[in-house]
């Protein structure tokens, strides 16, 4: 199966999820390697993005015209992880960490989370990675947002279980409230654990905020950057 075939299957999954949960926007990114700065970058897969709100068209256009570097935004961070990355408010991110801050603000977008999909090697042998990014409806209460994300992740896992080529982890989400300008390269939400295969983020006491600038984290897994 080529990239177009994988993209079509991802598009079908996003169709179902956006329709079921009334999401304003879902994006699909695919990775590539930049020889200029020796970094992986993400580019939009046009055929596998879904828009349910006309107000986000300009934001989608901006995403199509500019790539993300690995580590930028929810999608760029998810590219580095085997789990999801959740950002409560993309408009609070530093522009250096997320070049679409102004576009998101003008389009009324706020919370987003992204997860890297696993593509079975027997169907797709390329080293490219696919990342899907979901934007939530604005102005949700905290519990409503958590319930919605839990539902989306459960639905995503169910869709992937029915897919021949695509796989994704499914986790519940512990919302995090943040104030001020955020720098994705400085803060990380880390969860210490023995086995993450059936993890459930239901107990906020399992988390700790740490400064990861210039340091290596041991005996823990970076599960969410913001």
- Helices then strands, each counted (H, E), the chain: 5, 11
Examine residue 220 and state whether it is found in any structural domain, yes or no.
no
Taking residues 9-23, what's their average pLDDT? Answer: 94
**CATH value at residue 108:** 3.30.450.40
pLDDT in tens, 180-216: 344 444 433 333 333 333 322 222 333 333 222 332 2
Instruction: Please state which of the ranges 32-36, 133-137, 218-222 shows the lowest mean pLDDT.
Output: 218-222
| 14: pLDDT strictly greater than 50 | yes
Number of domains in the chain: 1
Q: Which residues contact 62 (CB under 8 A, 6 or more apart)?
A: 100, 103
Whether 83 maps to a domain, the answer reads: yes
Give domain status of residue 34, yes or no: yes
Question: For position 157, what pLDDT does the model report?
Answer: 86
Residue 36 DSSP one-character state: T
Q: pLDDT per residue over 18-53, tens digit each? A: 999 999 999 999 999 877 778 899 999 999 999 999
Provide the domain limits for residue 71.
3-181
Mean pLDDT taken over the chain: 76
Q: For residue 123, is it within any domain?
A: yes
Residue 69 lies in a domain: yes
Q: What is the pLDDT of residue 57?
A: 96
Rounded to an integer, the average pLDDT of 84-90 is: 92
What is the sign of the dihedral through the CA atoms of 24, 151, 203 and 72? negative
Contact between 203 and 210 under an 8 Å Cβ cutoff? The reply is: no
* Tens digits of residue pLDDT in 106-132: 999 999 999 998 876 656 657 788 999
pLDDT at 149 over 50: yes
Higher pLDDT: 56 or 213? It is 56
pLDDT of residue 121: 64
């Amino acid at each position: 199966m080529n990239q177009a075939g994988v993209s079509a299957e991802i598009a079908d999954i996003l169709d179902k999820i956006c329709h079921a949960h009334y999401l304003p926007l879902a994006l699909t990114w695919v990775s590539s390697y930049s020889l200029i700065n020796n970094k992986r970058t993400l580019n939009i897969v046009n055929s596998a993005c879904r828009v349910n709100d006309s107000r986000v068209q300009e934001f989608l256009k901006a995403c199509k015209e500019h790539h993300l570097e690995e580590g930028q935004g929810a999608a760029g961070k998810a590219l580095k992880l085997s789990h999801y990355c959740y950002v409560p408010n993309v408009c609070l991110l530093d522009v250096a960490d997320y070049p679409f801050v102004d576009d998101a603000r003008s389009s009324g977008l706020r919370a987003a989370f992204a997860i890297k999909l696993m593509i079975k090697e027997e169907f797709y042998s390329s080293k490219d990675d696919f990342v899907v990014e979901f934007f939530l409806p604005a102005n949700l209460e905290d519990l409503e947002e958590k319930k919605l994300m839990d539902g989306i992740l459960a639905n995503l896992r169910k869709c992937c279980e029915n897919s021949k080529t695509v796989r994704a982890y499914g986790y519940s989400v512990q919302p995090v409230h943040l104030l001020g300008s955020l720098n994705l390269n400085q803060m990380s939400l880390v969860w210490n654990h023995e086995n993450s295969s059936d993890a459930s983020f239901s107990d906020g006491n399992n988390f700790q905020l740490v400064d990861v600038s210039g340091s290596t984290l041991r005996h823990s897994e970076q599960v969410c950057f913001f």
